[in-house]
Amino acid sequence: MIKKLVLGLMVLGFVGTVSAADVFTGTWKLNVAKSTFTAGMEVKALSVVIVEKGADLAISAAGTDGAGKATSVKYTLPVKGGAVSYTEGAPASGATAMTKRVDASTIDSTSSLNGKEVGSTHATVSPDGKTLTRVVKGMDANGKAFTNTEVYDRQ
């Protein structure tokens, strides 16, 4: 359950309030060689697709965790705010995320589980739009803090 929560936290940080020409929409692939992970929180592969679906964004992510287990999550995020609606791989019952658009290329988010803050994400797209860097902070299954720096390449 904690691994699903962590994957959910990682993916939730990708989006916030966005528009049609938003720099975050598209397909992103994790560049493992440029990323750093806290021991036990590794990801071997992750691809994320963000598309518009009416007034919402549809997000799907699929990959492999550090133990080689396949992971996936799909959800819809209301662009104007509101609850995330999972269609596959919900991270945990009671998980929520609040996002804040800092500027056109930066989104910060805070993730909570049953009302208690459990993580945060700071996501920034490079000026050329080719690289997405995300700093994900949270707590692992043992209650120890972790920080992952993920670097994604636009596909």
Q: List the domains of the chain with CATH numbers.
A: 2-154 (2.40.128.20)
Q: What is the pLDDT of residue 107?
A: 80
* Integer angstrom CA distances of residue 142 from 31, 64, 135: 27, 21, 20
Least Cα distance to 124 among 135, 139, 140, 138 occurs for: 135
pTM higher than 0.95, yes or no? no
Residue 88 CB partners (closer than 8 Å, separation 6+):
60, 72, 73, 74, 75
The pLDDT tens digits of the residues spanning 28-41 come to 999 999 999 999 89
Give the number of other Cβ atoms within 10 Å of residue 113's Cβ: 20
The pLDDT tens digits of the residues spanning 39-61 come to 989 999 999 998 878 777 788 99
- CA dihedral over 36, 85, 27, 61, signed as positive or negative: positive
